[in-house]
Amino acid sequence: MKPEMKKSLIEWGRTIVIAVALVFLFRHFVAEAFYIPSESMQPTLMVGDRLYVEKLSYAFGEIEHGDIVVFTPPPSAKVPPEEDHLIKRVIALPGDTVKIESGIVYVNDKALDEPYEAEHPTMDYKPFTVTPGQVFVMGDNRNNSYDSRYWGTVPMENVLGKAFVRYYPFNHMSRLDK
């Protein structure tokens, strides 16, 4: 093999290795794409939507009420193995008391203003105080969401990141603010 050809192949190989490493680092530490498989977050997110979840916010800041988060479900959720990540909205933080009465969600005895909610939940939920290091999450489609009301809180270390942009379908591309 000619020296110029060998040098060119080495340069190409090095470029490919660097590109793969950068993609891995970006996906692992900065942002990752996710697909919405269920109706639990409707009307905010529809089945088939694709979005990016950014992972830096919680490395440098705190989870906030109303954040849409992707997380690894706790063992108490007993979800099928293929559902290794779930997406829900943060309703309550450590120290907050959450309850549901007559279809209204209350956090610390204050009714939540939830313009994103598909419909009011039909079941009541007795007052529950979120323990340190945990968050209470619910889907926006309250009557079609398997969430903290059924399996408890999510450890904060299970939260992978915050949903920040829907990139597909293209005609619904948008930022995902609270």
Q: Which residues are catalytic?
A: 40, 88
Contact 118, 142 (CB under 8 A): yes
Contact 42, 89 (CB under 8 A): no
Please state the length of the chain.
178
Q: Among candidates 12, 153, 168, 170, which has minimal Cα distance to 71? A: 153
Residue 152, by phi and psi: left (phi above 0), alpha (psi -120 to 50) or beta?
left
Contact 132, 95 (CB under 8 A): yes
